[in-house]
Amino acid sequence: MRKIHCTCSTDPPHRNLFSPPSPMAAKLHSLPPLHYPLSLLKSPKPFPRIPISHPLRSYHSQTRPLHNPDSRPLRSSSPAVRVLKEKVGSESADVGSSDRAGSVSKLVLVVGGSGGVGQLIVASLLSRKIKSRLILRDPEKATALFGEQDEKIMQVLKGDTRNLGDLDPSMFEGVTHVICCTGTTAFPSRRWDGDNTPERVDWEGVRNLVSVLPRTLKRFVLVSSVGVTKFDELPWSIMNLFGVLKYKKMGEDLVVQSGVPYTIIRPGRLTDGPYTSYDLNTLLKATAGERRAVVIGQGDKLVGEVSRLVVAEACIQALDIECTKGEIFEINSIKGDGPGSDPQKWAALFSTARIRQTDVQG
């Protein structure tokens, strides 16, 4: 897939720049501040300066054969993946032969591939015939979600980003791009069992992952959240009662300081799912409905909702769009026709967001 360079049109593709806040956000914003004790509106811990405690390690001179006893080679295509190929293939009919040729040399590592957004990312990579490698705590989930795949197309390794010792450098051999879409719930829930808290996932997990990325990496895409720069302000301070926005911002800051070529995607409130309890056949029946148009901004100003399908596509598109390198974008979806999987339309959206932010700063 060839790199897409952004055009510099100053005419935004969508006149409605900001979608209205969700009913929940509007309700929270209208609540009197005195209903919440001041101590609860502050972060649970002071926001520290972010040191890079694990410098990036280059191991290209000490390569070892990829080996993981818990890897699960998946050998044949499932009916679900065939359905996805037909669905995405119809949207990608305008992708040129050079884009297809570029996918042959690409190996995308997906961390968090069993989650709501991660499932869609992996399925879309499969439909595009882009080689992928998954790091999952439970590799058996890959078979249930994606069927049996040829290990030349998709490899599944067992690992947990919360534990640095799980991330052996051999896992990253040959990887050209990484998408990290790990996450947990903002408030205590069953998903916190086993120390799966925001601090462990969104901060320590991201820190550990960045510390072992190869220096030859072409792009690292991190899925974060809107509101991370305003975690001590209403209504965001309510969502941040247990630190989720604070720790996501810490993860962002570390990525920015690390020196890796990054793109950070900050979604609004996620819709269309989650689908983490379904197989891919059920997942493929989901669409973005009428909310296919995409709004992209910068500066943590967007307030609204976004389809998980749109977030997944934004991550994949950002891998090759040059003007997204070293940038942070917020993303919403609204009613209307969207860019689908057209790389030129996505490039125009990202480029327009950058121009708009530059005008604001100027």
* Beta-strand pair 107-111/219-223: unpaired
Q: How many helices (H) and strands (E) does the chain have?
A: 13, 10
The answer to whether the beta carbons of residues 172 and 214 sit under 8 Å apart is yes
- Look up tokens 């690390």; give the residue: 258
Residue 352 tokens, joined: 């327009």
How far apart CA 130 and CA 172 sit, in angstroms, is 16
| pTM, 2 dp | 0.75
Bond from prior residue into 274 cis (ω within 30 degrees of 0)? yes
Q: What is the pLDDT along the chain (362 residues), one digit of tens a residue?
A: 566 666 544 444 433 333 444 444 444 344 444 333 333 334 344 434 334 344 444 333 333 334 444 444 434 444 334 434 444 444 444 444 445 555 678 999 999 999 999 999 999 999 999 999 999 999 999 988 898 898 999 999 999 999 999 999 999 999 999 999 999 999 999 889 999 999 999 999 999 999 999 999 999 999 999 999 999 999 999 999 999 999 999 999 999 999 999 999 999 999 876 555 445 455 555 555 677 899 999 999 998 999 999 999 999 999 999 999 999 999 999 988 899 999 999 999 999 998 877 666 65
Which residue intervals of 152-259 are DSSP H helices?
Answer: 198, 206-211, 236-239, 244-258
